[in-house]
Every structure is written in C-alpha cells, then in structure tokens.
Structure 1
C-alpha cells in the first residue's frame, strides 16, 4: 500500500502588507494604471474640445458612463467567474491597445470626434469589468487581517494618481498635443500589465466560511485567515465557473448524492444570469453587506453633489475665486489622504462599523457647515475635516466590504457598490446645481448633509453592521 503525501498549503508571510513585495507589486500596477487613467481623461477632454463644440466635448466625456453603469453588474459576474487577476490583466491590455491605437491615428491624421467617442465607449465597456475585478483583487493578494491596511494603501495610491496624473497629462498635451498625451497614458497603463503578471494570488477562504454572516455558527466554522487551495491551473485560485446557489452553503456547495444518503439531483449548469441572480440574493440576505451598501449609497448621494458642482457655485457666490476653491479642494484631498495614511499605518481600527458610522455622521455635519462659513480660511479648515471624516468612513466601509464578503461573490458585491458610487451618485450633480439655483447653497448643502447623515444612522441602527469588526 502506497501513501501519498500531500504537502501543506503555502501560507502567506506573517509580515504587514506594506512590507510584502507581492502587495507592493500589485500596488505599483494599480498606481500606474490610475495615473494612466488621469492622463487619459486630460487627453480626451483636450482632444474633444479641439475637435468640436463645448457641448459635443461634454457628450464625449460623458458617453463612457453609460456602458459602465449598464454593464457593471455583468462585469462583477465576469470577475467572479474568471478570477479578478485575469480580468484586470485583460482589461488593462485592451485599454492600453485602444489608447495607443488612437494615439497613432492622431499622429498621422485628424479623424474627428467619432474616434474619440468610440474610444470613450470602449473605455466604458472595459471599465465595467475592470472596476469590479480591481475591487475583488486585494482579497487575493494579502491576508484578511491586512485588507484594511491594503485599503488605506489603495486610497493613498488614488490620491497620488490624482495629484500626479493631471500635470502629466497637461505636460503631454503641451509637448506634443493630444496624441502625445494619449501615448503617455497608454504607456503608463502598459506598465501595470507585467507587474500584475508577476503578482502571486493567495489562497482564499472557502465559500460559506467565516465571512458569509449567513450561518449562525459561521464564526466557529472557519477561523479568520482560513484558506483553501484553488483548482489546479487557475492562477487566481478561483474556479472558472462558480455554480452559485445563493444560500448559506455558499457558491461551491455540492449537490447531495447517493453517498450522502439522499437522492442524487443533477446539478444545473451555471450561467451568467444565474450567477448574477445568486450574487444579488447573496447581498440581499447578508446581515452586514446589505445595510453596508445602503450606507455607502446614502453617503455618496449626499457627498458627491456638494463637493463637486456645489463647491464651485459656493466659491462663486462667496467671491473666493478659482484660487480659493483650489485651496478648499486641496484641503479636502489632504484630509482624505491623511485618513488613508492612518488606516495604512494602523492596519485596523477597533469597532470599525461604529467608527465608520460616526465618521460619516461627523462628515455630514461638516458638509452642512461648509455653506455657512464666510471666508476661505474657515472653509479650508472645514474641508480638511470633511476629507478626514469622509475619507475615514469610506476607507472603513471599503475594508468591511472586502472582509465581510465571501471571496466567491466579491466581484459581484464590488459591482453593486460601484453602480451606487459611479452610476447613481453622479446623477446628484445636475440636481444639486439646479437646486442651488432655486434655493441657494445653504439649504441644499443642509439637505445633502441630511442624506449623508442618514447613511450613518443606518449603520448605527443595524446591529450587525454597528458591531462589525475588521480582522486583526
């Protein structure tokens, strides 16, 4: 009789995420891709303005949002079916090829707005699968107890990309026009591909384990950080097809057979539509994720309008000028960056659910106060507080979204949260502008603060979300 010895699974290193070369390679890829995105949108806006009327340029800039919003739920299914690493690599490769192709065409000809509109649509379609996969990827590159730190590091990368990307895009336009800027964006996105290929995927907890929150004894069935080896040949450690069932047994549940003492039931083939329905059912029945997404939605709806179009109108009515508005925006960015740095340094915060709710409530009060301050100096101080509190709340909500989700559903969970943030919240901007024209800045900022604060109220009212903790 021969004995087959199965080697133990390789465990992730015990060090913090900011010292893990694997995480740093992922972070470098993400940062390069985000800087490339910022350069791309500068190049696209400049090329559209030079090729058409202001209204036509606005349509070109907005057209990518339609396929992104319509297809993002399907993108979440794609990320869960094929693994986020594969999807992100493929998405970045497609985006890089599309941008470099347009750059080459602009170098030799002037094809007009149709090419820019087509490029924007391609970006919107690719973003619909890219964004859910990006959201699901951190859980595959680090341990659960490091996800909050990685969320903070990701926030710092976004702030860095926003600060660096716009000047780089402007420099590209100044040196060689839109074609040069597009080429620069394509090269930056291209940098992310080999870095992502070099990233190793961690073993992930089995579906229906400690993160599902749908089983009474879930916390006892799989300790934090429990991991399972994925199918051979899958670099993501995720199956190519996830036969999700949407119940407490998780998406990898096995159909009972004769050996289980029950009649064998033929398993229905998994389809994309079935995976989508199972993902939505999973979110709806989850005691933490369902209220968490409502909290995120209310926070974004109350935040996006005032801090974008509302701030410009407020600065104009107060006589702060463009420089004053720039100082306020910079203060907000500094506060949000400080919140991300805090989470990246600490790695976790106690009572994350309650802390996120309290930060959201404090940020909503600061949003209402911003419209009442008369001078730029006071507005800068209030904006700093908004950035710190809103950034902390957003980082904690993002970390809870990562740690509470079953890895097999994480792409779909991220897609639903992304639709709220990128599809519904931007709709508040024209409504905010129209409302300020009717009622003024004070009442509109106060109403937005109430909507934002309701998110904090929901988080405090739901016991499971209020008591939610980040793994340590």
Structure 2
C-alpha cells in the first residue's frame, strides 16, 4: 500500500514545535500513570487482601469518571481541550502528592484512599476527553494518521516500560511496613513519581499553541452543558456505524475490563514468587505486545481481513480464545506470553479505530464523541470490576477468565452474524449524524 502523496512525511511532525511539546508531555504523563496503575491495586491488596474491597476502591475511582465523562466532553467542546486538560493536571498533581504523603507516613486507610481515588476519577472524567481531543487542535488534519501512530505507539511503550519500572521500584524500595501494608516506601515513591509527571506535563502543555478552531458551532457558548451532552449523544446515535460500534464495544468492555483490573493482580499474587514486580511483568508484557502490534499496523497499514469491521471482529474473537486459559497459568512466563499475544492483536487494531473515529467526527463534536468512546472502556469499568470482585468470592480464578473469554467469543459470533460491523470500511464517510 502506497503512502498518501498529499500528506506530509511522518518526519515532518518532529519539526513541528507544538507537536514536540505536546508529545514530550504526553510521554512523561503516560509513564507516570503506569506507576499508579500498578501501585494502587497492589496497595489495596496489601492493606486488605480482599478482592471485593479492591473492586470497590477501583469502582469509587471509576464511578465519577463514568458519571461525568460525557459532561467532560461537552466542557471540552465549550472551552477547548488544552484549557480543560491543564486544570486536570494541576488537580491530579495535588491529589497524588496527598496520597504519597499518607502512604509514606503510614496514615493511609481505605476511607482516605477511597476519597482520593474518587478525586482522581473525577479529574479523569475531564482529562480523558480533553487528552483524546487535543491532537486535531495541534496538527493539520493530513498529519493525523501519522501523529496518532506516534502518540499511541509511545503510549504503548509506556505501558510496557512503566509497569516494569514501577514493579521494580516498589520491590526495590519496598522493605518498609506500616501495620499490614508491605512495600510502603516503594508504593509512596510510585505515587510521588506520578505526581511529578503531572506537574512536568502541565508545564510542557503550557508551551503548546493550538491551531485556530475550525468550527465551534457544535458547542455554542449559550448552550447548557446537559443540552450539549444530549446533542453529542444524539449526533453519535444518528450515525449508524458509530452507534453499532459503540454498542458492541460496550459489551466487550463489560466482559474484559473487570478481569483485567481485578483478576490479573490476584493472579500475580498467587503465582510462585509473587510480588509487585511480577504484576508489573504481566502488565508490561501486554504493553509490549500492544506496541509490537502497532508497529505491525504501521508497517502494513492495508493489512485487513476484507475490511476494518471484519478484521476487528476476528481480532476480538482470537483475544477471547486467548483469555480463556489465563486462569490456568502456573508461572509468570505463561501469563506474560498470553498477554503478549493479546496485546499484539489489540495494538494492531488500535490506531486504525482511533483514527477512524477522529476522521469521522467533525471538530465541533469531537470532544463529546471521544468522551462517549472512552466512557465505554473506562466508564463501564466500575460495573465490570465490582461484578468480578464479587464473583471471585464464590468462583475460582480459572472460572472467571474462562467465562469472560467465552462470553467475548460469543459476542463476536453474534455481531458477525447479525450486525453491520462486518461491513464497516475506512472509506470516506458521509455527513454523519444526519
């Protein structure tokens, strides 16, 4: 497949000062996020050893993220992605500094942890739609595909390196104890690292100069926030392909996010030589696979099984099959191998799907459309996590993974047989929402 001659080369992006500032801040922030992703569930498990409590704490973080994410998308369309993202970075810095201080001093409790998790989740409700909507405001549209490949590829690199670094750091500095919590110093340093990463990325974001907005008519200044939210929901619902994909991805998210958030830390804690480093290795393997998959997608952008939709369904079906035996692994290398393969397949599709949505949706609606997309995978997490945590009190780890993977395969089969997803292509779109 040939390169589009009308689009500037990918190398030209690195001559764009705004893109370089945005990218550098994104890398720092994404790496810091991985430290909290590893440290937070490990802290809860060390404090309580209860999967239901783990699910509830993660749910406390996810509920405000879910409830306010659509509002966040409307606010982004009203005030600009950069402005909203800057405020979320400042708020997250303060919250993570407080969390690190409580861990260092041994004063952390499930109550204070839940309160801080709620605040972080609320900040994420605004940072997610603003972060995913910023790129089209920074670089020209003809560079969007290449820029997405770079940004998402580096994100996956952080998902590979971050968990390994976080797990190693917690293990290396984790000889301090506070009551029943081990790894105290290492956990505190992990949260502190994430706080610093937010502060630094806020400074780099301040150096970014956005392009003149092409069209802000989708979020008029006099329109109420809830009216703006409903307008975005109506627009996406009226786009038949977006509606179909969003409903399908909702089912996928409910089946996968809970086991990843709840069952994987439990799996790591039960394997021989279990530690935060082992959990980091599992998550790092998934990140490495996703990065490799994105590399394959970049090298072979036209590699499809018939079209985008059919390829998406086939990839998800194989992911479901790989998920089924996850609970049977008895060594870290086995779990890491399965997660590497799952990440490879997921990463292959990631850039294409992300760019498809960004190109399909006009700039005035992009914040709201991306908030709906991210709500599906992150906003539905509390439901999936809470159900998984509750189920694991009465069923085995093997059953959780087997049922989750089997249901995903069933959803794919139904979608392939009855929905129009299999016919979705990357061809230029009609006027959506009409």
Q: TM-score, normalised by structure 2?
A: 0.75
Q: For residues 285-332 of structure 1, give each alpha carbon's deviation from its aligned partner in whole angstroms, at most 9, with x where no partner exists.
A: 124422332343344345445666677899999x99979999876654
1:52-111 C-alpha deviation (Å, 9 max, x unpaired): 674656544431111111111111111111100111111101111222244456666736
Which runs of 5 or more residues in structure 2 are unaligned? 1-6, 175-184, 430-434
Q: Equivalents in 2 of 1:47, 1:384: separation in Å? A: 25
Structure 1-normalised TM-score?
Answer: 0.70
- Tell me whether 151-160 or 351-360 shows the greater mean CA deviation: 351-360
Match of 2:131 among 129, 134, 141: 134
How far apart are the structure 2 equivalents of 1:82 and 1:286? 25
Superposed CA deviations along residues 118-143 of structure 1, whole A, max 9, x for unmatched, are 21111111111111111111111222
CA distance in 1, matches of 2:228, 2:103: 41
> In 2, Cα distance between the equivalents of 1:358 and 1:30?
29
- Do the aligned partners of 1:299 and 1:360 also contact (CA within 8 Å) in 2? no
Distance 1:53 1:380 in 2: 23
Which residue pairs with 2:97 in the alignment? 100
Partner of 2:357: 401
**Shift in CA distance, 23/360, structure 1 to aligned 2, threshold 3 Å:** farther
Instruction: State the alpha-carbon separation in 2 of the partners of residues 312 and 177 from structure 1.
Output: 17
1:466 corresponds to 2:425: yes
Which has a greater percent of helix?
2
Residue 124 (structure 1) aligns with:
121
Which residue, out of 157, 181, 188, partners 2:190? 181
Residue in structure 2 matched with residue 354 of structure 1 by the alignment: 307
Pairing 1:284–2:242 present: no
Indicate which of 261, 274, 294 corresponds to 1:340. Answer: 294
Shift of 1:277: 1.3
Q: 1:333 to 1:320 in 2, by over 3 A?
A: farther
Choose from 384, 388, 411 the match for 1:451: 411
Matched positions, count: 400
Picking from 219, 239, 243, the partner of 2:220 is 243
Secondary structure (helix, strand or coil) at the match of 2:380 reads: helix
Q: Which residue of 2 aligns with 1:200?
A: 209
Answer with 103-112 or 322-331: which moved more: 322-331
2: CA distance, partners of 1:332 / 1:104: 31
Tell me the C-alpha RMSD between the 2 structures: 4.2
Unaligned runs of 5+ in 1: 1-12, 207-237, 245-268
> Helix, strand or coil: the match of 1:137?
helix
Higher Cα radius of gyration = 1
Specify the alignment match of 1:29 in structure 2. Answer: 25
* Distance 1:329-1:118 versus aligned 2 partners, 3 A rule: closer
